[in-house]
A = this chain, B = another copy of it.
Protein backbone atom coordinates (compact mmCIF):
# COMPACT_ATOMS: atom_id res chain seq x y z
CA UNK A 1 0.00 0.00 0.00
CA UNK A 2 2.52 2.45 1.13
CA UNK A 3 4.83 1.25 -1.61
CA UNK A 4 2.20 1.68 -4.24
CA UNK A 5 1.65 5.28 -3.22
CA UNK A 6 5.32 6.08 -3.29
CA UNK A 7 5.64 4.69 -6.78
CA UNK A 8 2.80 6.81 -8.00
CA UNK A 9 4.48 9.84 -6.61
CA UNK A 10 7.82 9.09 -8.15
CA UNK A 11 6.23 8.59 -11.50
CA UNK A 12 4.60 11.98 -11.30
CA UNK A 13 7.87 13.73 -10.58
CA UNK A 14 7.44 15.96 -13.58
CA UNK A 15 3.98 17.13 -12.57
CA UNK A 16 3.70 20.84 -11.97
CA UNK A 17 3.19 20.44 -8.25
CA UNK A 18 5.26 17.44 -7.45
CA UNK A 19 4.55 16.45 -3.89
CA UNK A 20 7.75 15.55 -2.16
CA UNK A 21 7.49 12.60 0.18
CA UNK A 22 4.15 13.22 1.80
CA UNK A 23 4.00 11.48 5.14
CA UNK A 24 0.51 10.55 6.29
CA UNK A 25 -0.81 9.46 9.64
CA UNK A 26 -1.08 5.98 8.19
CA UNK A 27 2.65 5.91 7.47
CA UNK A 28 3.32 6.78 11.08
CA UNK A 29 0.84 4.19 12.28
CA UNK A 30 2.50 1.46 10.21
CA UNK A 31 5.90 2.33 11.59
CA UNK A 32 4.58 2.20 15.14
CA UNK A 33 2.49 -0.88 14.55
CA UNK A 34 -0.71 0.82 15.67
CA UNK A 35 -3.84 2.16 14.08
CA UNK A 36 -4.07 5.45 12.22
CA UNK A 37 -6.86 6.68 14.47
CA UNK A 38 -4.54 6.48 17.42
CA UNK A 39 -2.02 8.57 15.57
CA UNK A 40 -4.69 11.15 14.77
CA UNK A 41 -5.65 11.42 18.41
CA UNK A 42 -2.08 11.42 19.67
CA UNK A 43 -1.02 14.18 17.31
CA UNK A 44 -3.73 16.35 18.78
CA UNK A 45 -2.62 15.43 22.31
CA UNK A 46 -5.93 13.75 23.07
CA UNK A 47 -5.89 12.67 26.73
CA UNK A 48 -7.43 9.32 25.84
CA UNK A 49 -4.12 8.16 24.45
CA UNK A 50 -1.56 7.12 27.02
CA UNK A 51 1.34 9.49 27.51
CA UNK A 52 3.89 6.89 26.47
CA UNK A 53 2.09 6.09 23.24
CA UNK A 54 1.63 9.76 22.54
CA UNK A 55 5.29 10.50 23.11
CA UNK A 56 6.38 7.68 20.85
CA UNK A 57 4.03 8.74 18.08
CA UNK A 58 5.13 12.34 18.31
CA UNK A 59 8.75 11.28 18.16
CA UNK A 60 8.22 9.08 15.14
CA UNK A 61 6.15 11.78 13.45
CA UNK A 62 8.90 14.31 13.95
CA UNK A 63 11.52 11.88 12.75
CA UNK A 64 9.58 11.04 9.60
CA UNK A 65 8.93 14.69 8.99
CA UNK A 66 5.17 14.64 9.26
CA UNK A 67 3.73 18.03 8.36
CA UNK A 68 0.08 18.42 9.38
CA UNK A 69 -0.41 21.63 7.42
CA UNK A 70 0.12 19.77 4.17
CA UNK A 71 -3.05 17.81 4.79
CA UNK A 72 -5.32 20.74 5.50
CA UNK A 73 -7.72 19.87 2.66
CA UNK A 74 -8.33 16.44 4.14
CA UNK A 75 -8.77 17.92 7.57
CA UNK A 76 -11.14 20.56 6.27
CA UNK A 77 -13.19 17.98 4.45
CA UNK A 78 -13.46 15.78 7.52
CA UNK A 79 -14.26 18.62 9.92
CA UNK A 80 -16.81 19.99 7.54
CA UNK A 81 -19.15 17.14 8.34
CA UNK A 82 -19.41 18.32 11.91
CA UNK A 83 -19.95 21.92 11.04
CA UNK A 84 -16.52 22.84 12.28
CA UNK A 85 -14.15 25.01 10.34
CA UNK A 86 -10.39 24.87 10.36
CA UNK A 87 -8.60 28.10 11.11
CA UNK A 88 -6.77 29.21 8.01
CA UNK A 89 -4.65 31.79 9.75
CA UNK A 90 -5.54 34.16 6.95
CA UNK A 91 -6.89 37.67 7.48
CA UNK A 92 -8.09 39.84 4.63
CA UNK A 93 -7.42 43.55 4.63
CA UNK A 94 -9.77 45.48 2.43
CA UNK A 95 -7.99 48.54 1.18
CA UNK A 96 -7.75 50.14 -2.21
CA UNK A 97 -4.20 49.35 -3.34
CA UNK A 98 -3.83 52.82 -4.81
CA UNK A 99 -4.19 54.18 -1.28
CA UNK A 100 -0.86 52.66 -0.36
CA UNK A 101 0.84 55.74 -1.74
CA UNK A 102 -0.60 57.65 1.16
CA UNK A 103 1.43 57.42 4.31
CA UNK A 104 -1.83 57.33 6.18
CA UNK A 105 -2.89 54.00 4.72
CA UNK A 106 0.63 52.66 4.45
CA UNK A 107 1.09 53.13 8.19
CA UNK A 108 -2.12 51.34 8.99
CA UNK A 109 -1.47 48.53 6.58
CA UNK A 110 2.10 48.12 7.71
CA UNK A 111 1.28 47.89 11.39
CA UNK A 112 -1.57 45.48 10.73
CA UNK A 113 0.67 43.27 8.63
CA UNK A 114 3.47 43.30 11.17
CA UNK A 115 1.32 42.04 13.99
CA UNK A 116 -0.52 39.48 11.91
CA UNK A 117 2.60 38.08 10.33
CA UNK A 118 4.47 37.70 13.59
CA UNK A 119 1.45 35.89 14.99
CA UNK A 120 1.57 33.46 12.09
CA UNK A 121 -1.27 34.91 10.05
CA UNK A 122 -1.08 35.53 6.35
CA UNK A 123 -2.48 38.81 5.13
CA UNK A 124 -4.34 39.05 1.87
CA UNK A 125 -4.89 42.48 0.47
CA UNK A 126 -8.26 42.52 -1.18
CA UNK A 127 -10.01 45.54 -2.50
CA UNK A 128 -13.66 44.81 -2.01
CA UNK A 129 -15.96 46.45 -4.53
CA UNK A 130 -17.07 49.74 -3.05
CA UNK A 131 -19.75 50.40 -5.59
CA UNK A 132 -23.13 50.61 -4.00
CA UNK A 133 -24.51 48.01 -6.37
CA UNK A 134 -27.09 45.49 -5.31
CA UNK A 135 -25.64 43.20 -2.68
CA UNK A 136 -26.45 40.25 -4.91
CA UNK A 137 -23.96 41.19 -7.54
CA UNK A 138 -20.93 42.24 -5.59
CA UNK A 139 -18.07 40.20 -7.00
CA UNK A 140 -16.17 38.85 -4.03
CA UNK A 141 -12.70 37.36 -4.52
CA UNK A 142 -12.95 33.57 -4.69
CA UNK A 143 -10.83 33.27 -1.59
CA UNK A 144 -13.85 34.46 0.38
CA UNK A 145 -16.19 31.94 -1.21
CA UNK A 146 -13.80 29.10 -0.47
CA UNK A 147 -13.78 29.88 3.21
CA UNK A 148 -10.08 30.61 3.14
CA UNK A 149 -10.41 33.86 5.04
CA UNK A 150 -10.85 33.86 8.80
CA UNK A 151 -11.65 37.53 9.27
CA UNK A 152 -11.65 40.94 7.68
CA UNK A 153 -10.21 44.36 8.44
CA UNK A 154 -11.46 47.25 6.35
CA UNK A 155 -10.93 50.98 6.00
CA UNK A 156 -14.11 52.04 4.24
CA UNK A 157 -16.75 54.31 5.65
CA UNK A 158 -19.90 52.61 6.74
CA UNK A 159 -22.16 54.06 4.07
CA UNK A 160 -20.12 52.52 1.31
CA UNK A 161 -19.34 49.33 3.19
CA UNK A 162 -22.90 48.35 3.98
CA UNK A 163 -23.71 46.53 0.71
CA UNK A 164 -20.45 44.62 0.93
CA UNK A 165 -21.28 43.71 4.50
CA UNK A 166 -24.64 42.29 3.50
CA UNK A 167 -23.08 40.24 0.78
CA UNK A 168 -20.30 38.89 2.95
CA UNK A 169 -22.72 37.76 5.60
CA UNK A 170 -24.74 35.71 3.17
CA UNK A 171 -21.71 34.20 1.51
CA UNK A 172 -21.36 30.60 2.71
CA UNK A 173 -17.58 30.76 2.75
CA UNK A 174 -17.54 33.75 5.07
CA UNK A 175 -20.77 33.75 7.00
CA UNK A 176 -20.55 35.16 10.50
CA UNK A 177 -16.81 35.53 10.72
CA UNK A 178 -15.49 38.63 12.45
CA UNK A 179 -14.84 41.94 10.75
CA UNK A 180 -13.32 45.10 12.18
CA UNK A 181 -13.61 48.64 10.90
CA UNK A 182 -10.45 50.72 10.88
CA UNK A 183 -10.52 54.53 11.19
CA UNK A 184 -14.27 54.72 10.65
CA UNK A 185 -17.03 54.33 13.22
CA UNK A 186 -19.26 51.34 12.66
CA UNK A 187 -22.66 50.22 13.79
CA UNK A 188 -22.16 46.81 12.22
CA UNK A 189 -18.80 45.75 13.60
CA UNK A 190 -16.17 46.59 16.15
CA UNK A 191 -14.02 49.53 15.19
CA UNK A 192 -10.64 50.95 16.09
CA UNK A 193 -9.97 54.57 15.26
CA UNK A 194 -8.49 57.85 16.37
CA UNK A 195 -10.23 60.26 18.68
CA UNK A 196 -11.02 62.89 16.07
CA UNK A 197 -12.93 64.99 18.55
CA UNK A 198 -9.93 65.21 20.82
CA UNK A 199 -7.61 65.92 17.89
CA UNK A 200 -9.70 68.83 16.69
CA UNK A 201 -9.98 70.11 20.25
CA UNK A 202 -6.21 70.06 20.64
CA UNK A 203 -5.67 71.87 17.35
CA UNK A 204 -8.23 74.55 18.17
CA UNK A 205 -6.92 75.04 21.68
CA UNK A 206 -3.38 75.39 20.34
CA UNK A 207 -4.52 78.18 18.03
CA UNK A 208 -6.63 79.90 20.65
CA UNK A 209 -3.69 79.84 23.04
CA UNK A 210 -1.68 81.63 20.35
CA UNK A 211 -4.27 84.40 20.30
CA UNK A 212 -6.28 83.39 17.25
CA UNK A 213 -9.97 84.22 17.61
CA UNK A 214 -11.53 83.27 14.29
CA UNK A 215 -10.79 79.79 12.97
CA UNK A 216 -11.45 78.40 9.53
CA UNK A 217 -12.29 74.72 9.35
CA UNK A 218 -12.04 73.00 5.99
CA UNK A 219 -14.94 70.69 5.12
CA UNK A 220 -15.63 68.01 2.56
CA UNK A 221 -19.32 67.75 1.86
CA UNK A 222 -19.43 64.53 -0.05
CA UNK A 223 -22.94 63.25 0.30
CA UNK A 224 -22.05 59.60 0.11
CA UNK A 225 -19.43 59.58 2.80
CA UNK A 226 -20.10 59.06 6.48
CA UNK A 227 -20.11 62.56 7.97
CA UNK A 228 -19.83 61.57 11.62
CA UNK A 229 -16.11 62.15 11.89
CA UNK A 230 -16.40 65.71 10.62
CA UNK A 231 -19.15 66.35 13.12
CA UNK A 232 -16.96 65.08 15.93
CA UNK A 233 -14.18 67.39 14.90
CA UNK A 234 -16.54 70.33 14.95
CA UNK A 235 -17.64 69.31 18.43
CA UNK A 236 -14.02 69.36 19.55
CA UNK A 237 -13.43 72.81 18.11
CA UNK A 238 -16.61 74.18 19.61
CA UNK A 239 -15.64 72.91 23.01
CA UNK A 240 -12.28 74.64 22.77
CA UNK A 241 -14.00 77.86 21.73
CA UNK A 242 -16.45 77.67 24.59
CA UNK A 243 -13.63 77.10 27.06
CA UNK A 244 -12.08 80.28 25.66
CA UNK A 245 -15.38 82.08 26.24
CA UNK A 246 -16.01 82.48 22.53
CA UNK A 247 -19.28 81.81 20.77
CA UNK A 248 -18.77 78.88 18.37
CA UNK A 249 -21.43 80.22 16.06
CA UNK A 250 -19.53 83.44 15.52
CA UNK A 251 -15.93 82.28 15.70
CA UNK A 252 -15.94 79.00 13.76
CA UNK A 253 -16.03 79.39 9.99
CA UNK A 254 -16.24 76.73 7.30
CA UNK A 255 -14.85 76.43 3.82
CA UNK A 256 -15.60 73.51 1.54
CA UNK A 257 -12.53 72.26 -0.32
CA UNK A 258 -12.29 70.10 -3.39
CA UNK A 259 -11.52 66.42 -2.99
CA UNK A 260 -8.24 66.97 -4.84
CA UNK A 261 -6.86 68.94 -1.96
CA UNK A 262 -7.07 65.87 0.23
CA UNK A 263 -5.21 63.70 -2.23
CA UNK A 264 -1.47 63.15 -1.93
CA UNK A 265 0.73 65.89 -3.28
CA UNK A 266 2.97 63.45 -4.99
CA UNK A 267 2.87 59.93 -6.22
CA UNK A 268 5.17 58.05 -8.49
CA UNK A 269 2.53 56.96 -10.97
CA UNK A 270 3.96 59.20 -13.63
CA UNK A 271 1.65 62.16 -13.54
CA UNK A 272 1.56 64.35 -10.47
CA UNK A 273 -1.91 64.08 -8.98
CA UNK A 274 -2.32 67.74 -8.13
CA UNK A 275 -0.87 70.38 -10.40
CA UNK A 276 0.44 73.35 -8.43
CA UNK A 277 -1.65 76.46 -8.82
CA UNK A 278 -0.66 78.82 -11.57
CA UNK A 279 0.71 81.90 -9.83
CA UNK A 280 -1.56 84.32 -11.70
CA UNK A 281 -4.73 82.60 -10.56
CA UNK A 282 -3.79 82.28 -6.93
CA UNK A 283 -5.48 85.50 -5.89
CA UNK A 284 -8.68 84.41 -7.56
CA UNK A 285 -8.85 81.05 -5.91
CA UNK A 286 -12.10 80.60 -3.97
CA UNK A 287 -10.19 80.16 -0.73
CA UNK A 288 -8.36 83.47 -1.20
CA UNK A 289 -11.62 85.20 -1.94
CA UNK A 290 -13.15 83.73 1.16
CA UNK A 291 -10.24 84.86 3.31
CA UNK A 292 -10.43 88.38 1.92
CA UNK A 293 -14.13 88.45 2.71
CA UNK A 294 -13.42 87.36 6.28
CA UNK A 295 -10.36 89.29 7.39
CA UNK A 296 -10.99 88.35 11.02
CA UNK A 297 -9.86 84.80 10.26
CA UNK A 298 -6.20 84.21 11.11
CA UNK A 299 -5.91 80.44 11.33
CA UNK A 300 -6.84 77.39 9.29
CA UNK A 301 -7.75 73.91 10.47
CA UNK A 302 -7.20 71.56 7.56
CA UNK A 303 -8.80 68.18 7.00
CA UNK A 304 -5.50 66.41 6.60
CA UNK A 305 -1.89 67.30 5.92
CA UNK A 306 -2.25 67.47 2.16
CA UNK A 307 -5.00 70.04 2.34
CA UNK A 308 -2.92 72.03 4.82
CA UNK A 309 0.08 72.02 2.51
CA UNK A 310 -2.05 72.87 -0.52
CA UNK A 311 -3.40 75.86 1.34
CA UNK A 312 0.11 76.86 2.34
CA UNK A 313 1.31 76.76 -1.27
CA UNK A 314 -1.67 78.81 -2.33
CA UNK A 315 -0.97 81.43 0.32
CA UNK A 316 2.67 81.58 -0.78
CA UNK A 317 1.59 82.13 -4.36
CA UNK A 318 -0.74 84.90 -3.24
CA UNK A 319 2.17 86.60 -1.52
CA UNK A 320 1.15 85.75 2.02
CA UNK A 321 3.32 84.14 4.68
CA UNK A 322 2.81 81.26 7.08
CA UNK A 323 2.67 81.61 10.02
CA UNK A 324 2.97 85.42 9.91
CA UNK A 325 -0.27 86.03 8.04
CA UNK A 326 -2.04 82.74 8.67
CA UNK A 327 -1.40 79.81 10.95
CA UNK A 328 -2.16 76.36 9.55
CA UNK A 329 -2.70 73.10 11.38
CA UNK A 330 -2.64 69.82 9.52
CA UNK A 331 -4.29 66.57 10.57
CA UNK A 332 -2.94 63.00 10.73
CA UNK A 333 0.73 64.05 10.81
CA UNK A 334 1.60 61.82 7.91
CA UNK A 335 2.83 64.31 5.29
CA UNK A 336 5.65 66.73 5.98
CA UNK A 337 6.39 70.20 4.65
CA UNK A 338 10.16 70.54 4.73
CA UNK A 339 12.20 73.69 4.91
CA UNK A 340 15.47 73.96 2.98
CA UNK A 341 17.32 72.00 5.62
CA UNK A 342 14.98 69.04 5.97
CA UNK A 343 12.99 70.14 8.99
CA UNK A 344 9.29 69.48 8.91
CA UNK A 345 7.45 72.76 9.42
CA UNK A 346 3.85 71.58 9.54
CA UNK A 347 2.05 71.73 12.85
CA UNK A 348 -0.29 68.75 12.83
CA UNK A 349 -2.50 66.52 14.90
CA UNK A 350 -0.66 63.26 15.22
CA UNK A 351 -2.78 60.12 15.04
CA UNK A 352 -1.47 56.89 16.57
CA UNK A 353 -1.91 55.06 13.28
CA UNK A 354 0.57 52.33 14.07
CA UNK A 355 -1.02 51.70 17.44
CA UNK A 356 -4.45 51.65 15.85
CA UNK A 357 -3.31 49.12 13.28
CA UNK A 358 -1.66 46.93 15.88
CA UNK A 359 -4.68 47.10 18.12
CA UNK A 360 -7.04 46.16 15.31
CA UNK A 361 -4.81 43.26 14.31
CA UNK A 362 -4.68 41.99 17.87
CA UNK A 363 -8.44 42.33 18.14
CA UNK A 364 -9.20 40.41 14.97
CA UNK A 365 -6.87 37.62 16.06
CA UNK A 366 -8.68 37.45 19.36
CA UNK A 367 -12.08 37.33 17.69
CA UNK A 368 -10.99 34.86 15.04
CA UNK A 369 -9.55 32.45 17.55
CA UNK A 370 -12.82 32.33 19.40
CA UNK A 371 -12.40 35.11 21.92
CA UNK A 372 -15.38 37.06 23.14
CA UNK A 373 -16.90 38.65 20.08
CA UNK A 374 -18.29 41.64 21.94
CA UNK A 375 -18.66 44.67 19.78
CA UNK A 376 -16.24 47.38 20.87
CA UNK A 377 -15.57 50.91 19.66
CA UNK A 378 -12.02 51.94 20.46
CA UNK A 379 -10.86 55.55 20.18
CA UNK A 380 -7.14 56.08 20.62
CA UNK A 381 -5.79 59.43 21.79
CA UNK A 382 -4.26 62.01 19.49
CA UNK A 383 -1.48 64.50 20.09
CA UNK A 384 -0.82 67.95 18.71
CA UNK A 385 2.71 68.38 17.38
CA UNK A 386 3.54 72.09 17.28
CA UNK A 387 5.89 73.10 14.49
CA UNK A 388 6.63 76.15 12.43
CA UNK A 389 3.32 76.55 10.61
CA UNK A 390 1.59 78.03 13.63
CA UNK A 391 2.45 81.18 15.48
CA UNK A 392 0.88 84.18 17.21
CA UNK A 393 -2.14 85.70 15.50
CA UNK A 394 -1.43 88.79 13.45
CA UNK A 395 -2.66 92.04 14.90
Closest B residue, CB atoms, query A21: B172
Contact B336 A313 (CB under 8 A): no
- Determine which of B126, B175, B270, B344 lies in contact with A117 in the assembled complex, contact meaning CB atoms within 8 Å: B126
Whether, in the assembled complex, A265 has its beta carbon less than 8 Å from a beta carbon of chain B, the answer is yes
Interface assignment of A110: CB less than 8 Å from any CB of chain B: yes
Question: Looking across the interface, which residue of chain B has its beta carbon closest to that of A171?
Answer: B20
Partner of A279, one of B73, B106, B272, B341: B341
Are B353 and A268 in contact, CB atoms less than 8 angstroms apart? Answer: yes
Residues A69 and B173 in contact, CB atoms below 8 Å apart: yes
Please determine whether B172 and A20 come into contact, CB atoms closer than 8 angstroms. yes
Residue interface bits A263-306, CB-to-B below 8 A is 1, else 0:
00111111010101101000000000000000000000000000
Query: Beyond A69-B146, A107-B269, A270-B354, is A177–B97 a contact (Cβ under 8 Å)?
Result: no
A141 touches B117 (CB 8 A): yes
Residues from chain B with Cβ under 8 Å of A76 in the complex: 73
Q: Which of A36-44, A81-89, A158-166 contacts B (4 or more CB under 8 A)?
A: A81-89
- Residue A134 lies at the interface, judged by CB distance under 8 Å to chain B: no
Residues of B within 8 A of A274 (CB): 342
Q: Which residues of B contact A332 (CB under 8 A)?
A: 268
Residue total for A at the interface (Cβ-Cβ under 8 A): 93
Interface pair B124/A122, CB less than 8 Å apart: yes
Q: Is the C-beta of A379 less than 8 angstroms from some C-beta in chain B?
A: no
**A325 within 8 Å of B by Cβ?**
no
Q: Are B343 and A276 in contact (CB under 8 A)?
A: yes
Contacts of A31 in B (CB 8 A): none
**Residues of A67-85 contacting chain B, CB below 8 A:** 67, 69-70, 72-74, 76-77, 80-85
A84, A336, A340 — which one has the most chain B CB atoms within 10 A of its CB? A340
Q: Does A167 contact B (CB under 8 A)?
A: no
A227 within 8 A of B: no
Complex: chain B residue closest to A17, CB-CB? B85
- CA–CA, A143 and B85, complex, Å: 16
- Mask, A132-167, CB within 8 Å of B = 1, is 000000000111011110000000000000000000
Q: Taking each of A276, A310, A341, which has the highest tally of chain B beta carbons within 10 Å of its own beta carbon? A: A341
A316 at the interface (CB under 8 A from B): yes
Chain B residues lying within 8 Å of A272, measured Cβ to Cβ, are 344
Q: In the bound complex, what is the Cα–Cα distance between A76 and B265 (angstroms)? A: 47
- A110 to B316 CA separation, bound complex (whole angstroms): 33
Between A and B, 16 residue pairs with Cβ closer than 8 Å are A15-B85, A21-B172, A67-B145, A67-B173, A70-B145, A98-B114, A101-B106, A106-B106, A122-B124, A122-B126, A123-B126, A148-B148, A265-B338, A269-B354, A309-B342, A338-B338
19 further A-B pairs in the complex, CB-CB below 8 A; given A8-B83, A72-B146: A8-B81, A15-B84, A16-B84, A17-B84, A19-B172, A20-B172, A70-B147, A73-B80, A74-B77, A89-B142, A97-B114, A98-B110, A117-B127, A123-B126, A124-B125, A265-B342, A279-B341, A316-B340, A317-B341
